[in-house]
Amino acid sequence: MERTDQTLRAWQSDIIVDLIQHYGFEYITLNPGASFRGLHDSLINYGKNDPPMLVCQHEEIAVQMAHGYAKACGKPLAVILHNLVGLLHATMPIYYAFIDRVPIFIMGATGPMDEGKRRPHIDWTHTALVQGNAIRDYVKWDYQPFSVDGVPDAFARAYSIMNTEPCGPVYLCFDAGMQESRIDREIALPSPKVAAVPSKMMPDPDTLKAVAHTLLEADFPLLLPEFVGRKAGGFESMVRLSETVGAAVWDVNSSLNFPNKHPLCVSMDKGALSDVDLVLGLDVRDWHRPTFDYDEHRHEMKPLVRPDCNWIEMGMAEIGISKWATDYGKAQPCSIRALGDTSLSIPAVTDICSAIISQKPELQAKIASRKERIGTRHNQVWDKWQTEARRDWDSAPMTPARLALEVWDVVKDEDWVLTANTLKTWVRKLWDFDKPYRHPGCDIGTSTQIGISLGVALAHRGKDRLIIDFQPDGDLLYDAGALWVAAKHKIPMLMVMYNNRAYYNDWDHQIKMARLRGTDLDKAHIGMDLYDPAPDFATMAKSMGVWSEGPIENPADVRPALLRAIEQVKQGKPALIDTITRHR
C-alpha cells in the first residue's frame, strides 16, 4: 500500500500517522516517552513531522496548550502522553478540559500488552489493565484497540465524539507492541466522503416558540450565556437576540459571549438583577454564581432576582454530565428546556421574536423603554468602575486595577487578545472587548494559566495580533518549564506578571476564617506567601531564552517596559515583564 508521495507504509504505527494527517491536526503536543517510540519514529520518518511535534516540559503543559488552542479557535490538537505515568501527570488538565467543554484528541501508549515482549521492570510498572480507567470519569470516550484493524474505526469514532456538542477530550491508547509491528495486511482508512462529525441538533420548534413568547411576556428578562461564544457566530447572535427583545445580558465568561461595553451588558453588576423576572440560560452550567449571593458564614444562597422569577434554558447541559464529579453545579428548575445547539436555536428564537414584535407597536415601545433604562444604568456603572480603578493610584506596589489600565493604555490601539487571567475582573471592567476573539474565556485555576495561554497564543500565531497574558506568580511556579516551551517553539506572547508574591486566593479565605473565628489576621499569610525568598521571574525567563525585565515595583516604570517588551513580541518572540502588585 502506498501514499501519494510514494512513501511506503511499513509499520503499524504508520497507520496512526495517516489518521492524524487525514483528520487535519495542525500540531501535536507531547513530552517524550519510550512507550510511543514506534509512533514517534513514524511521525518523523513516515509523516515527515507533519503536523509538527511541539515538545513540552511536562504533560500538564502539553494538555493545557491543546486546551487553550481549542478555546481560542475551536479546533482540536493532538496530544501524546507517555504510558501510564504520563497519563497520571496529565489527569488534572484533562479534568479541566472536560469541565470546560474543550475538544482534545489525546493519544497514549501502553505495554506491550503481550507479556513475552516486555522489557524487564519498566514495561511492567508502566503498564495498566485498561489504562483509560485512570481518566474515564472525565473524558467523553476512551478506547484501547486490540489490534491495528481496530485503529481506524476507533480513531474516527473518537474524533466524532470529541467534536459533538458538548465537546470534550477523548483518549485512545495504543499498544507499544502493536506500534512496533510490521504491517502484514491491507488496512482500510476512512474515505474523504465520510462525515467526520454529525450535524448539529435543532431543538423542538414548538419549544422554541414557547421560549420566544415567554421572553416577550417578561417585564425584565436576563440572558445568561456561558459557552455560546465558542461557536462561530455565537457572539454576534447574542447581540442580535438581546437587541431584538431588549434583554439585559450577563456574560458568565467561560467564553466571550457579549461585548462588555454594549449598553445591554450588565455583567458583574449584581444590583442590575433586582427586577429580573425571567432568566434565559444559554449553554449555561453555572446558573447560581451570577444570580445568587452566597453568605459564607451561614453557607446560604440568596437569589438576586425577583422571588417570582421564571427560569428557562436552551443548550446541551443535560448531555455528557459526569457521573463522578459535580462540575454541573446545583440544579436550576426551569419551566421550559430546549435541548439542542444554541448556534441554531438562538437565531431561530430571535427570528420568531422579531416577527411578533413587528406586529405589536406597544411591545416595541416597551422594549425601547427597557433598553434605555438598562443602557443608562450600564453607563453609570461603567463610569463608577473607571473612578474606582484610580483609587490608590500612586501606591507601590500598584493595584491590579492600575496594572490593567497601564497595559490598556499601551495596547488599546493594537489588535489584541487576552489569554486567561482577568486581574480579579478588572480587565473586563476597564478594557473594550469588542470582538469575539478578544478573549477565549476566564482562567480555570492555579497550574493551568500559563499552559492555556501558550495554546491561545499558538492559535493566533501569524495573525498579527498581540497576545497578552496576565500571568499569576503562583501559577507560573507550577509550570516554569512553559517559558522554555514558548522560546523553543517561537510563540510570541506578552507575559505581564500579576505578581502579588502570594497564593492570595487562599490567603483571602484564611482572612475570612480569621474574621469568622476571631483568630489572628496577621497570621493568615502563613502557608500562603511567596516571599523570603521572592522568586526572580525575569531571571528565570532569561535562563530559558525569553526576553524579560523586572521586578517592577514603581508603577511609572510599567509603560516603558511594556513598550520594550511589545517590540520583542512583534519580532515573533515571547517576552515577560515582572510587575509587582498589591494583593487587592
With vertex at residue 517, the alpha carbon angle to CA 515 and CA 519, rounded to the nearest 5 degrees, is 75
Residue closest to 170 by CA, chosen among 189, 155, 192: 155
Question: What are the boundaries of each domain within the chain?
Answer: 12-179, 205-385, 390-579
Homologous superfamily of 12-179: Thiamin diphosphate (ThDP)-binding fold, Pyr/PP domains (3.40.50.970)
* pLDDT at 3 exceeding the cut of 60: no
522 vs 342, which has greater pLDDT? 342
Q: Determine which of 72-76, 420-424, 504-508 has the lowest per-residue pLDDT on average.
A: 504-508
Q: CB burial class (10 A; 0-12, 13-18, 19+) of residue 377?
A: middle
Q: CB burial class (10 A; 0-12, 13-18, 19+) of residue 288?
A: middle
Per-residue pLDDT tens over the stretch 318-336: 888 888 888 888 889 999 9
pLDDT computed for residue 451 by the predictor: 96
Residue given cell 510498572 in the structure block? 125
Q: What is the mean pLDDT of residues 51-68?
A: 97
pLDDT computed for residue 488 by the predictor: 98
pLDDT computed for residue 411 by the predictor: 98
Confidence of residue 7 (pLDDT cuts 50, 70, 90): low
pLDDT computed for residue 154 by the predictor: 96
* pLDDT at 91 exceeding the cut of 90: yes
Extract the C-alpha cell encoding 405: 489600565
Q: Determine which of 125-134, 456-465, 469-478 has the lowest per-residue pLDDT on average.
A: 125-134
For the entire predicted model, the pTM comes to 0.95
The beta strand positions in 51-124, using DSSP E, are: 53-55, 78-81, 105-110
> Residue 310's beta-bridge partner residues?
278
Q: CB burial class (10 A; 0-12, 13-18, 19+) of residue 545?
A: middle
Per-residue pLDDT tens over the stretch 198-248: 999 999 999 999 999 999 999 999 999 999 999 999 999 999 999 999 999
Confidence of residue 444 (pLDDT cuts 50, 70, 90): confident
Confidence of residue 355 (pLDDT cuts 50, 70, 90): very high
Q: What is the mean pLDDT of residues 526-539?
A: 92
355 vs 510, which has greater pLDDT? 355
Per-residue pLDDT tens over the stretch 254-292: 999 999 999 999 999 999 999 999 999 999 998 999 999
* pLDDT at 343 exceeding the cut of 80: yes
Give CA torsion, residues 427, 98, 502, 534, to 10 deg.
-100
pLDDT computed for residue 493 by the predictor: 98
Extract the C-alpha cell encoding 94: 484533562
| CA dihedral sign, ordered 424, 249, 466, 96 | positive
pLDDT computed for residue 318 by the predictor: 85
The helix or strand, by DSSP H or E, that contains position 142, with its residue range, turns out to be strand 141-143
* pLDDT at 42 exceeding the cut of 60: yes
* Helix, coil or strand: residue 551: strand
Distances (CA, A) of 23 to 19, 78, 105, 363: 6, 10, 11, 49
Question: Are the C-beta atoms of 342 and 231 separated by less than 8 Å?
Answer: yes
Q: What is the mean pLDDT of residues 41-59?
A: 97
Roughly how many angstroms between the first and final C-alpha of the chain, as a whole number?
64
Distance CA 253, CA 263 (A): 17
Q: Determine which of 3-7, 68-72, 555-559 has the lowest per-residue pLDDT on average.
A: 3-7
* Helix, coil or strand: residue 336: strand
Taking the mean position of all CA atoms in its chain, how far away is CA 109? 26
Residue given cell 504533560 in the structure block? 59
Phi, psi of 79 (to 5 degrees): -130, 140
Annotate 158-177 with three-state secondary structure.
HHHHHHCCCCCCEEEEEEHH
DSSP for residue 254 = S
CATH of domain 390-579: 3.40.50.970
pLDDT computed for residue 2 by the predictor: 43
* pLDDT at 4 exceeding the cut of 60: no
Distance CA 335, CA 337 (A): 7
Confidence of residue 508 (pLDDT cuts 50, 70, 90): confident
Q: What is the mean pLDDT of residues 463-470?
A: 98
Q: Are strands 300-303 and 292-295 parallel, antiparallel or unpaired?
A: antiparallel
Per-state percent for the chain, helix, strand, coil, to nearest 5? 45, 15, 40
Q: Do domains 12-179 and 390-579 have the same CATH topology?
A: yes
* pLDDT at 6 exceeding the cut of 70: no
Domain 205-385: state its class. Answer: alpha beta
Distance CA 288, CA 286 (A): 6
